Structure 1
Amino acid sequence: MSATELLTTPLNALHIELGARMVPFAGYSMPVQYKSGLMAEHLHTRTQAGLFDVSHMGQLQLIGPDAAAALESLMPVDVIDLPVGRQRYGLLLNDEGGVIDDLMFFNQGNDTLFLIVNGACKVGDIAHIQARIGGRCQVMTMPTQGLLALQGPQAVTALSRLVPGVEKLVFMSGGSFDWNGAALFITRSGYTGEDGFEISVPGDRAEALARALLAQPEVAPIGLGARNSLRLEAGLCLYGNDIDTRTTPPEAALNWAIQKVRRTGGARAGGFPGADLVLAQIDDPASLTRKRVGLVALERVPVREHTELHSLDGQKVGQVTSGLLGPSVDKPIALGYLPPQLAAVGTRVNAMVRGKAVPMEVAPTPFLPPRYYRG
């Protein structure tokens, strides 16, 4: 795709003004880093507050009295019992139990659910949702909305100056706010392992809000490069790398996202696409042929995605799906897939980097303790 064919977000001119290096991402021209560089941006987010443009993500609402039950029919998660004002992580599955996309959904009340889906998947997601449940609820896309993420331990300090009241939110809660006449929808959540917020803002007000946030002394602009290193330290999956349509939730170690009411007994157990396979894998973990794990290299050699993983006797046993030198943990970390018998914490394997065996050890995730604000 040529530069002229790429879509742009409402902050495109601001990124260029700030000296961002722009790259194609999910069909958009997006900032991968600014002048200070990935390392500085990563560490700034961990210590102060970083502002991310995530307007390429898809935003939509499902509206109607049957919206929650309809969405629950597409995912192995509890949608119906999600309280008003709360958010939850969800997984759209195909009929083979593979992950079409991972997403966040929020109960706004008044029979309305607000969804944020991945940018590269949004067209397909919306078509899938419309085809499967469009007759049961209104599927309203929000293509003119911008989306900003403010992440880091000083995010609440900076945002509450502009939008008083956000400090009362706790992790995975949210609400409607006003900023200079602009209607904002803000959740206390994010993709970095830090405290922070995601802010849905009308596209024509996104640049003004971004400039107001960047005027706060704690806030710096952060690109996709640091967004990736931050989420990997937090042990969070990247769709298309760590999970995809060929990956089931149990293989991806995402059983925690499947609430008990959808797993065992009762009228709401199962009933989602691929339920028979997914529930069988949960009931019998030995039936899995692979499992997502965290890995730490025992030498200071970054191990990138697609790197083969070999057993200590030289057999290919898996592959790295995400990997880099973690700026905060200061060691090479990765996510990847291994057979269940090699997935226990402490197990040693070798990553084959340019023909050289780099020893790695299965490690618990997240690699860095999360700092979400739970009140």
Structure 2
Amino acid sequence: MKRTVLYDTHLSLGAKFAPFAGWEMPIQYPAGPIEEHRLVRRSVGLFDTCHMGRIRMQGPGAFQLLDKLLTARLKDLPVGFSRYSLILREDGGVLDDLFVYRLGEEDWFIVVNASNVEKDLAWFQKWASEEGSVQVEDLSSRLGMIALQGPRAIELLSRIAQAENPSLIENVSRPNIGPVRARAFGSEDLFSAQSREDGQDGKAAQGSWTPPERFGWCWVWIGRDGGGRERNSVNPGLEGGDKGRQPREGMRESTGTGRPAREGPREGAKATPGVRCLVGRTGYTGEDGVEIFPPWEDTPAVWNTILAGAKEEGIEAGPAGLAARDSLRFEPGFALYGHELSEDVTPVEASLLWACDLEKSFVGRDAVEKRKTEGPKEKLATFVMEERAVPRAGYPVADETGRTVGRVVTGLYAPTVDAFAGNAFILTDLAGIGKTIYIVVRGALKKARVVKRPLYKPAYRT
């Protein structure tokens, strides 16, 4: 069982662990998943998402290849932004859903599900080998990943983040990432953002870091008022640096992680304002927030800086586990691979045609078009229990006669709407809003009603 670089941190916070996609992950903390869920809805929650896959695809022809493999429209995606997409088999079955970030014209960063990293890598490499000029690299063991989510997440990050300052990284090689839209970063070029200017109280001056638009990304330094460790922080894999670096003297192994953690500054290193991270304004909770990608060994420092910063600034924040993440993603209608999505499901059944640009050619397009024209036999529907019962994934769905008409793929308590609810694939004629269905719970038929999705729509989307 693998462990993330934050494993020791979770232990110190009293987390309970469970296996997930081959990883030993924190399921909940002492506050419990319901309180963690509510914390994210009202303020800020922090998630360890290091188990997810991080892949870079670059080189001449990278755009053309990705445009063929991904269902989303990529030709109008500017450098500095990201987009949700699917990858499909030739028969239209969903191999995975993912987020793709455009680092440059021919430079892409892809975040995939933990359970599909090896499968996705093999799929990308298979097609890239035919192109010859496209490089596919797994960065999962070199980059960490933290999700900072909630209505006050951007406010919190703004208190502890500094905009990129080229003078701090003048000796670091950088990729040619090209221009980005000025309104996203407040500057013509990603690396020309102004550094922070301290106010009289020693805190960051207002406007020192402008967060990107929704689905945008940028580079930031995360630290407290210049109090970061003295080191030349390079984000490995996303720009130049020693790709094959090994632990040096003065470095120790963090218990249970197998990853090096620095004990102190390097001799002769420059003072920096913290850890340099790629930050994307994305998430999986239905709230505003960001996903943060620091160097793997610096991830605990970033995590601790965020929690310490929240305490200093009087912003309610805390860690949240996978149980809360599941209920948080369910309420706004986000799919979870292995539940709402699988290789046996096409975007038509999963109600994800909006993520498919049918005006372009991509792997699986013809199969999707055919299924759309013919109409699916079953569709994904969201339901709310009308009788007291807890629905679980795998439970059968029946009509009033007891005839099996589908199966539950997600079932849980949804704290925001205070109801037991779930998603199920059911026969299309029973999937209409307001239809009555029955969940078979330990042999008994329990009444439920099909409702409009999503159950929760956050303020930033209105």
TM-score (norm 1): 0.92
Q: Matched residues in 2 for 1:23 and 1:207: separation? A: 20
1:157 to 147, 155, 175: 155
Q: What does residue 45 of structure 2 align with?
A: 50
Q: RMSD value over aligned CA atoms? A: 1.5
1:196 to 273, 289, 294: 289
Asked if the contact 1:233–1:333 (Cα under 8 Å) also holds between the matched residues in 2, the reply is: no
Residues 50-108 of structure 1 show CA distances to partners (whole Å, capped at 9, x for unaligned) of: 00000011111111231121012112221232111111111111121101111000111
Q: What does residue 325 of structure 1 align with?
A: 413
Q: What does residue 10 of structure 1 align with?
A: 5
Residues 91-145 of structure 1 show CA distances to partners (whole Å, capped at 9, x for unaligned) of: 1111211011110001112421110000111011111101112434111221211
1:173 to 205, 212, 216: 216
Asked if the contact 2:57–2:135 (Cα under 8 Å) also holds between the matched residues in 1, the reply is: yes
Q: Matched residues in 2 for 1:336 and 1:152: separation? A: 27
Q: Secondary structure at the match of 1:357?
A: strand
Asked if the contact 1:308–1:319 (Cα under 8 Å) also holds between the matched residues in 2, the reply is: yes
Q: What does residue 370 of structure 1 align with?
A: 458
Report the alpha carbon displacement of residue 287 of structure 1 after superposing the two structures with TM. 2.7
1:95 aligns with 2:55: no
Report the alpha carbon displacement of residue 167 of structure 1 after superposing the two structures with TM. 4.6
Asked if the contact 2:221–2:277 (Cα under 8 Å) also holds between the matched residues in 1, the reply is: yes
Q: Secondary structure at the match of 1:317?
A: strand
Q: What does residue 354 of structure 1 align with?
A: 442
Q: Matched residues in 2 for 1:176 and 1:129: separation? A: 26
Q: Secondary structure at the match of 1:168?
A: coil
Q: Secondary structure at the match of 1:146?
A: coil
Matches within 5 A, 1:1-375: 6-134=1-129, 135-142=132-139, 143-164=141-162, 167-179=210-222, 180-215=273-308, 216-217=310-311, 218-259=316-357, 263-264=358-359, 269-270=360-361, 272-282=362-372, 284=373, 286-372=374-460
Richer in strand (by share) = 1
Q: Matched residues in 1 for 2:340 and 2:133: separation? A: 32
Q: Secondary structure at the match of 2:306?
A: helix
The sequence identity of aligned pairs, in percent, is 36
Identify the range of structure 1 (75-84 vs 90-99) with the bigger mean alpha-carbon deviation: 75-84
Report the alpha carbon displacement of residue 349 of structure 1 after superposing the two structures with TM. 0.8
Aligned length: 359
Q: Secondary structure at the match of 1:145?
A: coil
Q: Secondary structure at the match of 1:23?
A: strand
Q: Matched residues in 2 for 1:162 and 1:373: separation? A: 25
Report the alpha carbon displacement of residue 371 of structure 1 after superposing the two structures with TM. 3.7
Moved over 6 A (4+): none
Q: Matched residues in 1 for 2:354 and 2:460: separation? A: 17
Asked if the contact 2:402–2:445 (Cα under 8 Å) also holds between the matched residues in 1, the reply is: no
Identify the range of structure 1 (127-136 vs 334-343) with the bigger mean alpha-carbon deviation: 127-136
Q: Matched residues in 2 for 1:370 and 1:303: separation? A: 25
Q: Matched residues in 2 for 1:130 and 1:182: separation? A: 31
Q: Matched residues in 1 for 2:381 and 2:213: separation? A: 29
Report the alpha carbon displacement of residue 373 of structure 1 after superposing the two structures with TM. 6.5
Identify the range of structure 1 (47-56 vs 167-176) with the bigger mean alpha-carbon deviation: 167-176
Q: Matched residues in 1 for 2:386 and 2:133: separation? A: 53
1:344 partner amino acid:
G
Report the alpha carbon displacement of residue 13 of structure 1 after superposing the two structures with TM. 0.6
Distance 1:101 1:72, change over 3 A: same
Report the alpha carbon displacement of residue 313 of structure 1 after superposing the two structures with TM. 2.4
Please list every run of 5 or more consecutive structure 1 residues that lacks an aligned counterpart in the other structure: 1-5
2:212 partner amino acid:
L
Report the alpha carbon displacement of residue 319 of structure 1 after superposing the two structures with TM. 0.7
Distance 1:311 1:46, change over 3 A: same
Residues 150-178 of structure 1 show CA distances to partners (whole Å, capped at 9, x for unaligned) of: 00011111111111456532211111112
Asked if the contact 1:28–1:56 (Cα under 8 Å) also holds between the matched residues in 2, the reply is: yes
Distance 1:136 1:362, change over 3 A: farther
Report the alpha carbon displacement of residue 9 of structure 1 after superposing the two structures with TM. 0.8
Q: Matched residues in 1 for 2:370 and 2:297: separation? A: 48
TM-score (norm 2): 0.75
| Larger Rg over CA atoms | 2
Asked if the contact 1:158–1:219 (Cα under 8 Å) also holds between the matched residues in 2, the reply is: no
